[in-house]
Amino acid sequence: MYALRKRILVTGGAGFLGSHLCERLLNDGHDVICLDNFFTGTRDNVLHLLDNPHFEILRHDVTQPLYTEVDEIYNLACPASPPHYQADPVQTTKTSVLGALNMLGLARRCKAKIMQASTSEVYGDPEVHPQPESYWGHVNPIGFRSCYDEGKRCAETLFFDYHRQHKLRIKVARIFNTYGPKMHPNDGRVVSNFIVQALKGHDITVYGEGQQTRSFCYVDDLIEAFVRLMGTPDDFTGPVNTGNPVEFTIMELAEKIIAMTGSKSKIIHKPLPHDDPRQRQPDIQLAKEKLGWEPKIKLEEGLKPTISYFASLIEQGLI
């Protein structure tokens, strides 16, 4: 067992995805370093792990160099919802770009394998549907979302240049909309927004006519994809789309959450935000071929524990 145990760093480890990943890696028998600056992550997400002797938590910002010894790195650090990444756009770009540089430097020194949590936002407002990994995207480089979109695109560039120039073992996952327990209640994402509004009986805010589409992947499915990607042979780098290809309109999601919560909330419409993508659906053929992976959890099945999580926060007076 000792020989199989890896020392794994998860940046952004106290965030939504990072905390689920830390838990999975511990369950798989590894030593886990959870690194977070707690800008959007919270200790509450990993409190239940603190007594585990194979888990440690480190307050650190990835824009600063880190010196430690690791076998693998999952680089998840970056605010991922528009309200959070637009709150300090310069810092968001620095987190993506300097964070990638620092983690790549650490991986090179340790000869560690490293995975970049990229995003479907690298495709921008896509003119190709669904989006395959070969699509280069349709991104506004000077818009309100550019700090995140272009920051993640630059991070991918750095990963592939380190791979070509320094023979670094890299993996790149492009994450599509993901939901589940431990989402930040104020992150502005559509699933958490709608659930909290519905549970509180507030009006549900739909931007535009609500005909824009999204594909929603439950967090457990996504974490499975991460682990499988990291376990692929070194000659497979990605990028690989990780998401659920089943597409829903925003109106369909709103109506489904109202029905599942038994809410009396009304749906109201507001203008579309800047550069809001009209369609977002992953082509996951590559993930099926290379990872043997596709999502298993249907939207209704994943919404149940997610609704229960937010209901619990409301009951405790935390939101």
Question: In the chain, where are the structural domains located?
Answer: 7-315
In three state form, how does the secondary structure of 267-300 look?
Answer: EEEECCCCCCCCCCCECCHHHHHHHCCCCCCCHH
Structure tokens at 229: 């990607």
Q: Is 268 helix (H, G, I), strand (E, B) or coil?
A: strand
- What's the token pair of residue 149? 């979109």
| Cβ atoms of 282 and 130 closer than 8 Å | yes
Per-residue confidence (pLDDT) for residue 185, from 0 to 100: 87
pLDDT, mean of residues 158-164: 98
Does the pLDDT of residue 235 top 60, yes or no?
yes
Mean pLDDT of 80-85: 76
Average pLDDT over residues 256-277: 87
> Is the alpha carbon torsion for 275, 281, 282, 285 positive or negative?
negative
Residue labelled with tokens 């199989």: 4
> In the prediction, which pLDDT does 276 show?
66
Strand residue runs (E) in 169-307: 170-175, 178-179, 204-207, 213-215, 217-218, 240-242, 247-249, 267-270
Tell me the mean pLDDT in the region 170-187. 94
pLDDT at position 275, please?
58
For residue 248, what are the CA distances in angstroms to 190, 212, 244? 12, 8, 11
Q: Is 316 left (phi over 0), alpha (psi -120 to 50) or beta?
A: alpha
The DSSP call for residue 44 is G
Residue 3 pLDDT more than 70? no
Kindly report the length of the chain. Answer: 319
User: Does residue 2 have a pLDDT over 60?
Assistant: no
Round the average pLDDT of the chain to a whole number and report it: 94
**Stretch 150-159: mean pLDDT:** 97
How confident is residue 268, by pLDDT bands cut at 50, 70 and 90? very high
pTM here is 0.93
In this model, does residue 43 exceed pLDDT 90? yes
**Active-site annotation, residues:** 148
Q: Which fold has domain 7-315?
A: Rossmann fold (3.40.50)
Amino acid (1-letter code) at residue 1? M
Quick check: 84 pLDDT over 90? no
> Where does the pLDDT of residue 281 fall: very low under 50, low under 70, confident under 90, or very high at 90 and above?
confident
